[in-house]
A = this chain, B = another copy of it.
């Protein structure tokens, strides 16, 4: 029982299977044995493609992040007004998380890898998506980093609480979200 005839699995296949698995069954379901079963191979064979369980999680998280950034890039294409761009970004993140709860939970759980080769590109792309409209809105350079952190925090916290079903009171989440991003954006533009 050695290598099988025909095309064999790639690391891409493995990450793809992991993405699907996490999408369907949540971040807790991610594991070497589980992904191997999904691919129809034995667990040890997966180590031909990933170094370890944690590394599989990191790779899957990076892939998910790229999916998110691509989605956001599409979302703001064609939006001209900088403020509308910011709102569009926030809403697009929330929509993506609704459609990919497990993946976002995974991204939140995996420790960032500052030295990882895949880290730079998508991180920078995400940053730029927010930086451009902030600049156009006249936010001074030395406050843009703080502004991005504020916006990211607000959206991140909201979508996490929302998908963890921590908003138990009967009130429309849409309204809460619009109120939040409107408050933050207004506050950032007229900062004192």
Contact = CB atoms under 8 A, between A and B. Distances in A.
Interface of A: 108-109, 111-112, 114, 123, 143, 145-147, 149-150, 152-158, 160-161, 164-169, 171, 173, 175-176, 179-180, 182-184, 186-188, 191
Nearest to A191: B179
A150 B167 CA distance: 11
A105 to B, nearest CB: 9
Q: Which of A111, A175, A179, A183 has the most CB of B within 10 A?
A: A183
A160 B158 contact: no
24 contacts: A108-B108, A109-B109, A111-B164, A111-B165, A112-B168, A145-B169, A146-B175, A146-B179, A147-B179, A149-B173, A149-B180, A150-B180, A153-B158, A154-B180, A155-B157, A156-B157, A156-B160, A156-B161, A157-B160, A179-B191, A183-B186, A183-B191, A184-B187, A186-B186
A158 to B, nearest CB: 4
A166 B156 CA distance: 12
Listed residue (A109, A149, A158, A184) with the most chain B CB atoms within 10 angstroms of its CB: A149
A102 to B, nearest CB: 13
Contacts of A114: 168
Contacts of A184: 154, 180, 183-184, 187
A152 B157 contact: yes
A52 to B, nearest CB: 14
A112 B165 CA distance: 7
B161 A176 contact: no
A173 B158 CA distance: 20
Contacts of A108: 108, 160, 164
B147 A157 contact: no
B152 A154 contact: no
A187 B179 CA distance: 8
